[in-house]
Structures are given as C-alpha cells and as structure tokens.
Amino acid sequence: MNRSSGGVGPWLSCSPAGRTTTSAGTVRDLDAAAGFYETVANLAEVGVTIAQEPFEGPFGTTFAFIDPQGYAITVHDRTQWAASVGMMSDPAAEPAEPAPVPADAAAHPLRLALLLIAAFGTGVLVALQSRINGELGQRLGDGFLAALISFGSGLVILSIASLFWRPGRVGIVRVASAVRTRRIPWWYVVGGSAGALFVLGQSLVVGLVGVALFTVGVVAGQTVSSLLIDRRGLGSMAAKPVTPRRLVGAALALVAVVLAASSELRPGIPLWVLIVPFAAGLAVGWQQAVNGQVKAIAGSAFTATFGNFAVGAGVLVVAAVIHTLIVGWPAHFPATPWLYLGGSVGTIFIAGQAAIVRSTGVLLMGLAVLSGQLLTAVVFDLVAPVQSHAIAPLTILGAALTLVAVAIASVPRGRSGSPSR
C-alpha cells in the first residue's frame, strides 16, 4: 500500500514486519496535528488507539497511533510530535478488523504453537487459583478472609517486584498525574475492585458448586460484558457494531451458564451462589477494558496489574474486617502450605499473559487461555473436587458450549476479496 491521499498527506507504507513508515513529502496539516497531540498521555482522551508497540526508530523511540478520523500518526519522542500524518483509509469506510494472527507470529508457526501452549498453561493456572482459593475458603470457613489472603500475598509479591522494575514505578506516577489533572476519570483506576469480586467469588462459591460451574459463569459474564462495552466504547476504544456472530456467541454463553447452573438447583444452594460467578464475569470484562486505558497512560502493563492488586486488596480488607466483626475470627488456619499460593499463582498467569499477547494477539491467546481454564476446571471437578462435590453432566456440557460460544463471538467474520497491497 503506497498511494496518494488526495492532498491530505502521503499514504503510509507498511512493511511485512508491521513497521510503519511514510513516503517523503510535507504534510499540510502537520503543524495543527503537532499542536493537538501534545503528549502520549493525552492521546487516549481524544479516542486515539495504539496501532503497534513502540519501537526504536532513527529518531528515537517511535509510537504509532490511529485517530478517530482515520489518520495515522507516527510520533517520535525526540522530535516534534506528529512527525508524519497520512490518511490510511477513507474515514467513512468500515474499519478493518485486526488480523487474528500477527504477521511475525504467522511467519514462525513453531514459535506460535509454543506460545499458544504457554497461553493454555496460563489458563490452567487460572483454574488452579480457583481451586486453591475455593479450598482455602472451605477450610477457613471464611471466604472473605481467604480472598484477602490470596489478594494480599499477590500485592506483597508485586510490591517487591516494583523495587526492581523502574518502568512500573514511572507508570504509577503517570497514572496518578493523569487522574489528578482529570485527563482520565478516577474510575479507570479502580478496576481492582472487579478483581476482588472475582477472587471473593472463588473463595465463596467454588467450594459449593465446583470449579467448572464457577468458570462457566465467569466466562459467560465476560462474553456479555465485552459485547456491551464494545457497543458503547470506552475511552480510546471506539464503539464497535454488534455483529450477528457476536450476538449468537453471547446468547450461547447465556444458554451455557443456565444449562450448567440448572444442575445445581437443589435444596440448600442459595440463589446468590449461582449469580455471583456471572456477576464476577461481567465485572472482569469491565476490568479488562479499564486496565487497557490505564496501561496506555502508564506505558506499562505492570502498573495496571499493581494498581489492580492494590485496589482489590483495599476493598477486601474492608469487606473482611466487616465480616469478621459480624461472624468472628476463624477457629484455626489450615497448615497445608499450598492453600496460601493463590496470590502467587495469580501474579504468574497475569505476567505470563501480558508477555504472550504481544506475539500471539488477543484473539488466539484468549481462546487458548479459555480452553485451558475450562478444560482444567472440568478435570479438577472430576479428579479432585472441593468437598467431594461431584461434577454433573450438564456442567460438562455447559463448559463445552461456553468454549464454542467464545470462539463464535471472537473469531472475525470472513472477508471477500483480497486486501490491497
């Protein structure tokens, strides 16, 4: 692709590796653009999305963005902002969907396969954390304290790591400044409250209904939440049309959770136990969206993760204190060491996914993670259920249907014709 933009500016030329360059020439509205996009932090406010990871170019670290009007902006941190502006496509045209597989990953299938195996492994760890926290909640007889132990231990680990990771500390300062000057709303930084609900749900619910049903509810909630957020947009995430494929996927996810939950509609199981997993999934979908905004401002995934653990731990401290004042302190703490590893497991799969997604893309990694999460949840309930809670056939069917629903909702629709070169 290397065409004239009809007086607006030079078209961008993209190399196979995904690096973005421009043809030679002067862009008419360069000065206006340079004044408008003053800082990288301000870009999120005006709906600019990151087109690729920063890379080292001839003028220093280079960032590539796409603004809401369809302009592509390449920004060099050691020169004037908006070093080049070109019309990538007709702004009125339908935006292209991202490729399911990044170009560099597609060129190395063996490496891609190994990364997807690693992503599957992080899904296994998500299910493992649910199993650990569910067991700890049962042994303690206090799901609130179990959730706090899990979240608090993760926060301790990240606090130690922050001492050795300067970009994360710099990112915290950037985010704090953005909130203070109202460049981003304050509620962007409280996504950790959703994480607190997720871990609390693990500790309260898994011991009663098993890992598989909890996981089905969470994944279904995430699928519906992502559909709603995409429809409305959030920050730099422009609103996306709701396609029939995504509607079918969301509907199947709801059918899956109803199917799986129906096996647990028995005396002694309160209704809130079946609602909490789906509510946690809705919250986690929102958490992922605001975390993306925080990461863009901070320039570091570590900052968003640390903020999540800090906020979530604070929420759980308040909840655990109130709960303890009402019901009292647990009679004893279990001596089994592995019951206290939930927070450690959480930091591992979060860091792993952050590293893997850059090479695999969101779509493939998400499907691999959910596959590992759902399959492992079913295996846990078959082989090592909490409190000898046997898994029902309808729950297994619900887990399989959930995976199908996510695949349908996530895979981009096919295109006719060939892309322009």
Q: Which long-range contacts (CB under 8 A, 24 or more apart) does 182-185 make?
A: 183/41, 183/42, 183/44, 183/45, 183/297, 184/44, 184/45, 184/235, 184/293, 184/294, 184/297
Residue 240 in this model has a pLDDT that exceeds 80: no
Cα 89 to Cα 51: distance, rounded to the nearest angstrom: 14
Point out which residues pair with 73 in neighbouring strands: 65, 85
Cα 112 to Cα 106: distance, rounded to the nearest angstrom: 7
- pLDDT band at residue 200 using 50, 70 and 90 as cut-offs: very high
Name the more confident of 80 and 118.
118
Cα 63 to Cα 52: distance, rounded to the nearest angstrom: 7
The answer to whether residues 216 and 224 touch, using CB atoms and an 8 Å cutoff, is no
pTM for the whole thing? 0.70
The Cα-based distances of 2 to 70, 258, 419 in angstroms read 16, 51, 13
The Cα-based distances of 348 to 143, 158, 313, 354, 397 in angstroms read 22, 11, 17, 10, 29
The Cα-based distances of 299 to 114, 137, 250, 296, 302 in angstroms read 27, 36, 32, 5, 9
Cα 141 to Cα 30: distance, rounded to the nearest angstrom: 64
Question: pLDDT, tens digit, for every residue of 341-397?
Answer: 999 999 998 888 877 876 776 667 777 888 889 999 999 988 888 776 678 888 889
Cβ neighbours of 406 (radius 10 Å):
25
* Domain chopping of the chain, boundaries: 12-87, 103-410
The answer to whether residues 224 and 282 touch, using CB atoms and an 8 Å cutoff, is yes
Question: pLDDT, tens digit, for every residue of 114-154?
Answer: 888 998 999 999 999 999 999 999 999 999 999 999 999 99
What percent of the chain lies above the pLDDT cut of 90?
Answer: 30
Name the more confident of 284 and 317.
317
The answer to whether residues 240 and 47 touch, using CB atoms and an 8 Å cutoff, is no
* Relative orientation angle of helices 192-209 and 342-360, to the nearest 10 degrees: 120
The answer to whether residues 413 and 229 touch, using CB atoms and an 8 Å cutoff, is no
The Cα-based distances of 407 to 82, 178, 378 in angstroms read 38, 36, 18
The answer to whether residues 211 and 130 touch, using CB atoms and an 8 Å cutoff, is yes
